[in-house]
Amino acid sequence: MERDAFEQLVTEGLARIPEKFRKLLKNVAIVVEDEPTPTQLGRSKVRHGSLLLGLYEGVPHTHRYGQVPPLPDKITIFQKPIEMVARTPDAIRQTVVETVWHEIGHYFGLSEHAVRQAQEKRFRKPR
C-alpha cells in the first residue's frame, strides 16, 4: 500500500475515536514508520518473534498531574508489520483502526492488559 493511503487510514482510525477522548489528546504526535527500530522493540517488551504494530512513547495522561511534558508524546503506527498480518485492504483498515485505538488507550494510561480487554469488548464481532 502506498504511504499516503496508509496515512489516510491512520487519520480515519483517529476520527473513529470518540470525540470526548479526541478532545483530550494534547501534545501527542501520531506518525507512520515502516518498521520499529531496535530501540523501540526493546522499549515495547514485545516477545521475540512477535510483530509490533504500534507504539506509544511518552507520559500517560493519567500520570501528568496537570502538567504537560515539554516534548510531545508519540504514537507510531508501523506499516510493514500491519501489512504482514492484514493482507487485504479491509483487513489493513481494521488493523490500523484497532492499533490506533490501542495506542491511544496507552496514552490515557491503560495497561496492556486493560487495553486488550477494552479492545475485545469494542471490536468483538457479532455472532
Q: Which CATH number covers residue 19?
A: 3.30.2010.20
Q: Is the pLDDT of residue 73 over 50?
A: yes
What distance separates the 2 farthest-apart alpha carbons in the chain? 46
Asked if residue 127 is part of any domain, the answer here is no
Q: In 10 A of CB 88, how many CB atoms?
A: 8
Q: Is the pLDDT of residue 127 over 80?
A: no
Q: What is the reported pLDDT for 67?
A: 65
pTM: 0.87
What is the mean pLDDT of the segment spanning 7-23? 94
Residue 108 belongs to domain spanning: 3-122
Asked if residue 32 is part of any domain, the answer here is yes
Q: What is the reported pLDDT for 98?
A: 94
| Secondary element (H or E) of residue 55 | strand 54-57
| Secondary element (H or E) of residue 29 | strand 28-33
Q: Which residue has the higher pLDDT, 77 or 115?
A: 77
Q: Is the pLDDT of residue 70 over 70?
A: no
Our count of domains for the chain comes to 1
Picking from 106, 110, 33, the residue whose alpha carbon sits closest to that of residue 73 is 106
Helices (H), 45-111: 79-85, 89-107
Of 55-64, 101-110, 118-127, where does mean pLDDT reach its minimum? 118-127
Asked if residue 74 is part of any domain, the answer here is yes
